[in-house]
Amino acid sequence: MVASAKCDLRMIDISAKKETRRLARAEGYVVTSSKVIKTIKEGRVIKGDVFSAAQIAGIMAAKNVPGLIPLCHPLLLTQVDVKIKIIAEDTIRVESMVSNLGRTGPDVEAMVAVSAACLAVYDMCKSLDRGITIKDISLLEKSGGKSGRYIRRGK
C-alpha cells in the first residue's frame, strides 16, 4: 500500500454548471451454472424471487450513492430502472438507466445500481453456486451537460 504525503481530496464545486436533464445507462453480467439459471427460471430459489430482489437492491443502491462513494454529490434522481434478463444458459445481464435534472450526471449511480443488483443475484443464489462471477460492469451511455453524449463503442 502506498501512503500519500498529503490529502487533497475535495468535493468539486458544481454550482456554476447549468442544470440539465441527464441520463446514464450501465450494464453488468452474472455468470453462474446452467443449473442455477434453470432454478431461477422455475422460481425455485429458496430465498424467493431473485430478479425482484435484485431490482430493488439496484434501485436502493442508486438512491444511496453519496453514502457509499466518497465525494459524490447527492442527486435528486428522477428515474431509476433496473432490468435483469437471462441471456445465455449460464449468464444474466443487468442493465440500469438512471436520470436526473441537475448539475452533474448519474453515471456512478447507474454503475452502483448494476453492481448492487448483481450482488443481490449472488446473495440470492450463493447456496446453489459459490463460484458465481460478476463481471464487466461498465457505463454504456451518458448524456446531458456541457460534455454532451457519450456512448460506449464496441458493445
**Closest to 12 measured CA to CA, from 75, 68, 73, 100:** 73
Q: What are phi and psi of 2, to 5 degrees?
A: -95, 130
Which residues are designated catalytic? Answer: 123
The per-residue pLDDT for 37 is 98
77 forms bridges with which residues in the sheet? 100
What domains are there in the chain, each with its CATH number? 22-144 (3.30.70.640)
29 forms bridges with which residues in the sheet? 93, 135
Q: Give the containing element (helix H, strand E) for 22.
A: strand 20-31
Pairwise CA distance, residues 108 & 87, whole Å = 24
The per-residue pLDDT for 154 is 80
Full-model pTM? 0.93
pLDDT per residue, tens digit, the chain (155 aa), is 566 567 789 999 999 999 999 999 999 999 999 999 999 999 999 999 999 999 999 999 999 999 999 999 999 999 999 999 999 999 999 999 999 999 999 999 999 999 999 999 999 999 999 999 999 999 999 999 888 899 999 85
Pairwise CA distance, residues 18 & 3, whole Å = 37
The per-residue pLDDT for 3 is 62
